[in-house]
């Protein structure tokens, strides 16, 4: 089974370089254009199923992509919701403490989730999709989720994990 994964389009918090976890925010005009372009780039990939995070920015991105590739139904999956960054929500994404915490897999963001917590909810979803061996699928989610999904397929050192950032509407492709 072929699996595509994309991050939502740009939001006002992304444009301001702010950590955006559970804040339910919509796309900017640039984000809308990014999502439409992602949809056009996915038209010939044979995607038959779209599963998206319940957050508005991912749902909006998924709808714009679905319109471009001709899919009517978007499934919503709670496990694709962005990581809970706790006290770092709406802080500068280049912040020293935030980035130090990102390199500590077993340490929760104060008031939020650890990377192990995140893997604990995402890996079972990916294993379920693998066992189903269904149609070519697109997951529409968030930067932190994309970062963790990548570790399901690749061995990634903590420092490389922390440094990885999929651009808005960037697309990853995996064989599941």
Annotated catalytic sites, by residue? Answer: 8, 82
If DSSP codes are grouped into helix, strand and coil, which group holds residue 53? coil
Which of 83, 61, 60 has its CA nearest to residue 145? 83
- Two tokens, residue 61: 């991105």
Which of 58, 77, 73, 52 has its CA nearest to residue 128? 77
- CB–CB of 74/58 below 8 Å? no
């Amino acid at each position: 089974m072929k699996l595509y994964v994309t991050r939502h389009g740009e939001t006002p918090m992304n444009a301001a370089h702010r950590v955006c976890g559970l804040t339910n925010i919509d796309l900017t005009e640039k984000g809308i254009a990014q999502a439409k372009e992602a949809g056009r780039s996915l038209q010939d990939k044979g995607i038959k199923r779209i599963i998206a995070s319940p957050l508005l920015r991912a749902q909006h991105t998924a709808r714009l992509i679905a319109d471009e590739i001709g899919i009517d139904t978007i499934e919503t999956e709670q496990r694709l919701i962005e990581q809970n960054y706790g006290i770092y929500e709406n802080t500068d994404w280049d912040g020293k403490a935030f980035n130090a915490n990102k390199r500590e897999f077993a340490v929760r963001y104060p008031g939020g989730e650890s990377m192990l917590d995140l893997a604990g909810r995402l890996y079972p979803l990916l294993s379920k999709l693998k066992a189903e061996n269904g149609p070519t699928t697109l997951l529409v989610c968030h930067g932190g989720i994309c970062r963790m999904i990548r570790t399901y397929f690749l061995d990634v050192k903590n420092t490389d994990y922390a440094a990885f950032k999929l651009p808005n509407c960037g697309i990853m492709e995996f064989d599941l």
